[in-house]
Amino acid sequence: MSKDTGFPKADAEYDFLRARRRQVLSRLAKWLRGGPDDVNIMLPFNEVVEALGFQSERRLGLQVIRLDSIVGSVDRGRDFDRRFRPTSGRVRERWERLALAARRGEEIPPIEVYRIGGLHFIIDGHHRVSVAHALGLSTIEARVTEVRTKLDPSGIRYRGDLIVKDYRRLFLERVPLTGQARASVIVSDPWDYAKLGEHVEAWSFRLMQDEGKFTDRACLAQRWYEEEFVPVVEMLRQADLVGDRTEAEAYLWVAGERYRLIRTHRWDDDVITALRAQTR
């Protein structure tokens, strides 16, 4: 909670010094633990939109939003860390002026944000958010513009998470799965999406050769899921070969091993026997 001595100007100065001290201690703790470099960095709005794929936007107007839902910035906010603590003394004068106004009960203009899913990114109002955090508030007024994206932003915590979303978006452009199929095919390593896309396209090419006709990507993606992915994953589960992997990771592993061990694109008992021997 914020300190209240009855002298607003002194309290505002203390608020800033406390916020700066917490930022320095947080950075030191991250360094001592050997944490990732991006743990205290705001999510960059443009990179998030690029990774998820822009669809549309609409203005929602003035709303009250939770401070802890604000995770990023349009301009990356180098003056503040992920929790909107000042990273230097550069912002001190303006910061303390806003803190003093807030302590005196003066009206503070709403901030402006973009919304993606349940996440918010500041367009204007970094100092106001920082002061609100320092004063122990949980919500703030904001003018909200909602941005709809091709992929859901769930699972994004740090900047490093964006590469997985980016590769998944590219994979789904190559393999346009929908519904349950889309939700089921998940990998954790972003490079695996590229490998999986190659597998699906190779399977689709062989299918079109066998049938002697061209088929569009959406139809091929659905047929791959129903005729290849689902039966193979079920077979792997029965053979206890999925393990701690996701279903897509298990499929990708055995698809590569199948050809390396058996030199075939077929699935039969010989493949399972060779794969079982490989895991012993």
Q: What is the pLDDT of residues 120-141, one digit of tens each?
A: 999 999 999 989 988 888 999 9
Tell me what pLDDT residue 38 has: 44
Tell me: do 72 and 123 sit in the same domain.
Answer: yes
Q: Is residue 159 part of a domain?
A: no
Tell me: do 22 and 144 sit in the same domain.
Answer: yes
Tell me what pLDDT residue 33 has: 56
Tell me what pLDDT residue 100 has: 87
pLDDT digits (tens, 9 = 90+) for 240-255: 878 888 999 988 888 7
For the chain, what is the domain count?
2
Highest mean pLDDT among 40-49, 51-60, 242-251: 51-60
Tell me: do 14 and 90 sit in the same domain.
Answer: yes
Q: Which residue has the higher pLDDT, 121 or 21?
A: 121
With 60 as the cut, is the pLDDT of residue 35 above it?
A: no
Name the CA dihedral angle for 146, 147, 151, 157, rounded to a multiple of 10 degrees: -70
Of the candidates 124, 119, 126, 130, the residue with the CA atom closest to the CA atom of residue 153 = 119
Tell me what pLDDT residue 110 has: 95
- Give the structural domain span for 264: 175-279
Q: Is residue 228 part of a domain?
A: yes
Q: Which two tokens stand for residue 101?
A: 């106004």
Q: Is residue 115 part of a domain?
A: yes
Give the CATH number of the domain where residue 31 resides: 3.90.1530.10
Crossing angle between the packed helical segments 45-52 and 162-174, to the nearest 10 degrees: 30
Q: Which residue has the higher pLDDT, 28 or 187?
A: 187
Tell me what pLDDT residue 36 has: 47
pLDDT digits (tens, 9 = 90+) for 79-120: 888 788 888 878 888 888 888 888 888 888 999 999 999 999
* Alpha-carbon distances, residue 104 vs 8, 64, 107, 110 (angstroms): 7, 21, 9, 17
Tell me: do 61 and 140 sit in the same domain.
Answer: yes
